[in-house]
Structure 1
Amino acid sequence: MVAAKQLATEPLRQQLPPSISSRTTLSVSAEIVGNIMQSISISAARSPATKAQHVVSSSKVTSNTSLPPAAPIVAKLFKTPQCATGGQNVSKVHNDLSDTVSSLNLQPIPRQELIKSVDSNAKNTQPAISIEVLKPGVYTGSSVYTEEISLLANQVQTGLQARVAPIPIDDCTGGVYYLRTKNRRLTAVFKPADEEPYALNNPKSFQKPEQAPSVSGIRQGIAPEDAAVREAVAYLLDHQHFAKVPTTMLASLYHPAFHYHASESLHRKIGSVQAYVPHQDTADDVGVSMFRASDVQAIAMLDIRLANQDRHGGNILVVEPTALVSSTSGTMTKAQTGKQVSLIPIDHGACLPRVSALSETCFLWLFWPQAKQPFSRAALEYIAALDAHHDLQLLEANLPSGHHLEREAALTLHVCTALLKFCSLDLKMTAHDIGMLMCRDEIVSQKDLSPSVLEMMVASTLIDAAVLKSEVLLRLEDKQRGMQAVAFNKQTQAQGKAWSNYVAIFMQTFRRMLASNLTAK
């Protein structure tokens, strides 16, 4: 592997990794198919000024039985994800069957109505303490994500209706809150987008410097307030619940406990809501000998696909295997040392940076012995079924309107999926081998280090003559569509042939780079 890395590095060292100056939002011009979350509206009792269609009675909650059947979204290998719970570290967690609530009335709320309601509330009255799940961009009627999300949203709403206040989490760079049920049991973790590092209402010291208005978010290639959508993306792309990413959704919440120091008035906050996983330890607290190879490889595969910029021991939860089936006990005693446990990955806001900003890719599992073992047969079958085009269609269908990835982030998914498939299936590389191609040689002082092999292959692809020509055509089409020629980050769901052509030429060139630089000679 070392020889392969040296072989790949030499012909590329002469080229500096350029960055694309233009960015655009993801929207793939392909047929949108099933497995789509439903719109969910859940509200506590409101003032008469609040629109009636946003209210669901807490005493009578009904389910919509007229949903059309779901259609398969990807290869048959990807079955429906199983529900899990996720979150941060707490020593005592209790479960109560009385917390269970009935199904929800799945009434779609147009985004314009949601915004109108938020504006009206801000001007006329204090917003209702409630949760409103943002509807997906395409409404086709799926029962898969609806079941998981409605259960989680119901549990959150019971606590909000009972006036159980969110609990701020101090040891985070952004504003993060535990959400609880009416019985005060932890059920979810809420991360408001406007409280992310360098965002407007960040409650910590991570404010954008006035002398550096162009500063990125907490990671390069990810803008402030863009981490929330990536949390939902990681859940949606964890097909078959292979890596066990907890149920995650984008929602609008209001509670006076949230941070509003830079806002003129109280308002609803949009952010990610992730199911809380009862646990006592993280990967930093226990020996790696307790980890299953299948769990480590599943997390590694997810991190490679998403180019995770922040995989450390604190965001891999250590859970008893039985807790995944029945979460009646969320504790783990030191007497269990030596017993194999299950790993749950959380905190995916630093995934899928722009393809020109991969310098901070970092994997804690890189030197774990399980990552150096050959991929299992199940893992290889899973990898073989991956398709970035289908993944982007899935995101297009399930992400709420106005909450999409940038084009360069979509390109990162294409690149990293191709890298994982080629290296594991064709070259028989391990997760460790692939990670070494993606990460720089040292963890510290990354700004002064040479680019990784992946960074240099991407840089060479970006300056390829055919790719540059297709980018010119893409900008011309964007101009004709009323977009700024240099604004690759404009959010629009309409895509044309020029973008599809750009992706095709870029990936054809990148695959050629893979073959020429990684294949043993």
Structure 2
Amino acid sequence: MSSAGIAVRCFREDQVLSPARKQHSQSLHYSDDSVLIYLTVPGSSVIPMRVLDSDSIAAVKLRIQSRRGFVVKNQKLVFDGRELARNDCRIRDYGVSDGNLVHLLIRLSDLRFVTVNTPSGDKFEFQIQRNRDVVNNSNNLSTDSPANVEKNIADDLKIDYSQPWIEPVVVNPLIKLSPTLEELISSTYDGLEKRHAPVMSSEGSGGVYFMKDGSGRKYVSVFKPTDEEPMAENNPRGLPLSPDGEGLKRGTRVGEGALREVAAYILDHPAGGRRSFLSDEPGFSGVPPTVMVRCLRGGGDEAKDLKVGSLQKFVKNCGTCEDMGPRAFPVEEVHKIAVLDLRLANVDRHAGNILVCREEEEGKVMLVPIDHGYCLPEHFEDCTFDWLFWPQARQPFNSAALEYINSLDAEKDIALLKFYGWEPSPECSRTFRISTMLLKKGARRGLSPYDIGNILCRETIKKESKIEKMISEAMDAVLPGSSEAAFLDAISEIMDHYLNKLAQ
């Protein structure tokens, strides 16, 4: 599977260059629009680098690749608490100027499957980090001691567990967990009880941990603590604390990523209707089962070791959409991802967080969406969808997708989130109502995911999207102090006018 991310601690310019080197760098002559930025790189080092303020993010990444060897597609740049996500935008559009510090996170493919055959004929399959050496020590493998097999395969994190436990966070006593979620928590607990340490992924800009089952031979879940999210207090990637509580993506809040992960699963209704408490029916878009949990890893310091976060079922896969060309993906699989992203106004849908799975018997390709900590934002500024540029996005929805879209109800979904214990902010609820409205109206007129996605996404970072312009027009059309219902009526009318013209 594809994974990512190393970040390093913060530096100021006076910590980077000596007075002599600083004076020398200032005395050099460059073009008028050149700027000197300080790039943090893996290994806790910092390098000064000259770029043009007219350079695109893609051009800066290419310069980093030629200078440091980090492949462009594996780079993530963060400046002033915001990811520089739009490769076609200029660095000055993000406010990067002379003397600024830019954080570089490197995406690494860190897990692979290794199969070991023992002398007695038993077979063991392990998932280990790609940067670990695999020791050929098969003569010492014992069929009655899988732990010995694991020891010779990978040197995972070693944490001293003392009475670890994990339990669901259930704020409403009326909620009953489905058998799948019960099994997810139980198998994760078995791994902790047997002292199989979580393996921290190198992916992303926050803490992500692969949790093992009782045998220690396979991963069963992925745990994301709230206090280790990007720019949170205990973020392990070295990113600074958020000065105002806003996340790396505009319209999201630090510490709410786990809630959004769970919300994406709750709102991913099955095609036949809303999922009952005890139902294991998969959702239309295939979001893996996800639940909020408390986890104590032990070690004696409960205040430090007690973690609250999202626990998601681990999905075995053959890579991500980033690892292969999109033409191999079935249209209906791309559309099910598009429906989810358009409805939840996802601001972080890239090819790297869509898993590619293949059925063993029929060989059918299935896409599984993960990483929804940045869905349901408070506004549309950072909406981006990689699938927007895939050929499947220009195909119209089929009858099954249209029937599902028509069944969506934003008001019932907001009530459902409140029932599960998360009350979205008024801004978040408004965004969700508008995105659901747009999806339903657009699909009804025969518009494709590409057509609808282009309304939600900005062409450039500075140019407002079409939906943002509609919102501004609707706010101007209602009187100050008008109700939310009056505002929604206004934007519905404006949206109808625009979509009718587009459909023609």
Normalised-by-shorter TM-score class: 0.5 to 0.7
Question: Within 2, Cα distance between the matches of 1:321 and 1:382?
Answer: 24
State the AA in 1 paired with 2:229: E
Deviation at 1:438, TM superposition (A): 0.7
1:373 maps to 2:398: no
Q: TM-score, normalised by structure 1?
A: 0.61
**Higher deviation after alignment, 231-240 or 454-463:** 454-463
Q: Secondary structure at the match of 2:443?
A: helix
Residue 56 of structure 1: aligned partner: none
Q: Secondary structure at the match of 2:178?
A: helix
514 and 153 in structure 1: CA distance in 2 versus 1, 3 angstrom threshold? same
Which of the residues 186, 199, 205 maps onto 2:232? 199
Q: Are the equivalent residues in 2 in contact too, given 1:166–1:178 (CA < 8 A)?
A: yes
Which of the residues 341, 344, 352 maps onto 1:303? 341
Deviations 1:322-342 (A, max 9, x none): 49x9xxxxxxxxxxxxx6511
Paired residues for 1:339-354 under 5 Å: 340-354=364-378
Which of the residues 296, 320, 336 maps onto 1:282? 320
397 and 349 in structure 1: CA distance in 2 versus 1, 3 angstrom threshold? same
More strand, by proportion: 2
Q: Are the equivalent residues in 2 in contact too, given 1:89–1:279 (CA < 8 A)?
A: no
Question: Within 2, Cα distance between the matches of 1:199 and 1:141?
Answer: 29
Deviation at 1:407, TM superposition (A): 2.0
Q: Are the equivalent residues in 2 in contact too, given 1:281–1:317 (CA < 8 A)?
A: yes
Question: Within 2, Cα distance between the matches of 1:150 and 1:291?
Answer: 32
What stretches of structure 2 of length at least 5 have no aligned partner? 1-108, 116-121, 123-160, 271-282
Which of the residues 276, 291, 294 maps onto 1:252? 294
Residue 512 of structure 1: aligned partner: 493
Deviation at 1:304, TM superposition (A): 0.2
Which of the residues 222, 229, 250 maps onto 1:189? 222
Q: Are the equivalent residues in 2 in contact too, given 1:90–1:278 (CA < 8 A)?
A: no
State the AA in 1 paired with 2:266: L
Deviation at 1:215, TM superposition (A): 5.4
Q: Secondary structure at the match of 1:391?
A: helix
1:225 maps to 2:255: yes
1:419 maps to 2:419: no
Deviation at 1:265, TM superposition (A): 4.2
Which of the residues 151, 176, 185 maps onto 2:183? 151
Q: What root-mean-square deviation, in Å, do the aligned CA atoms of Structure 1 and Structure 2 show?
A: 2.9
Deviation at 1:93, TM superposition (A): 7.5
Q: Are the equivalent residues in 2 in contact too, given 1:291–1:340 (CA < 8 A)?
A: no
1:178 maps to 2:191: no
Question: Within 1, Cα distance between the matches of 2:229 and 2:318?
Answer: 25
Q: Are the equivalent residues in 1 in contact too, given 2:478–2:487 (CA < 8 A)?
A: no
Q: Secondary structure at the match of 1:280?
A: coil
Residue 464 of structure 2: aligned partner: 451
What stretches of structure 1 of length at least 5 have no aligned partner? 1-87, 97-125, 326-338, 471-501
Residue 404 of structure 2: aligned partner: 382
Q: Are the equivalent residues in 1 in contact too, given 2:207–2:225 (CA < 8 A)?
A: yes
Question: Within 1, Cα distance between the matches of 2:263 and 2:110?
Answer: 23
Q: Secondary structure at the match of 1:418?
A: helix
Deviations 1:80-129 (A, max 9, x none): xxxxxxxx9732289x9xxxxxxxxxxxxxxxxxxxxxxxxxxxxx9841
Structure (1 or 2) with the larger CA radius of gyration: 2
Deviations 1:490-519 (A, max 9, x none): xxxxxxxxxxxx332221111011012232
Q: Secondary structure at the match of 1:281?
A: coil
Q: Secondary structure at the match of 1:239?
A: coil
Question: Within 2, Cα distance between the matches of 1:235 and 1:215?
Answer: 24
Question: Within 2, Cα distance between the matches of 1:322 and 1:393?
Answer: 39
Which of the residues 251, 265, 269 maps onto 1:239? 269
Paired residues for 1:440-479 under 5 Å: 440-442=458-460, 446=461, 449-466=462-479, 468-470=480-482
Residue 432 of structure 1: aligned partner: 450
**Higher deviation after alignment, 502-511 or 366-375:** 502-511
Q: Are the equivalent residues in 2 in contact too, given 1:250–1:273 (CA < 8 A)?
A: yes
Deviation at 1:289, TM superposition (A): 2.0
Greater relative contact order (CA < 8 Å, ≥ 6 in sequence): 1
Paired residues for 1:84-95 under 5 Å: 90-92=111-113
Residue 480 of structure 1: aligned partner: none
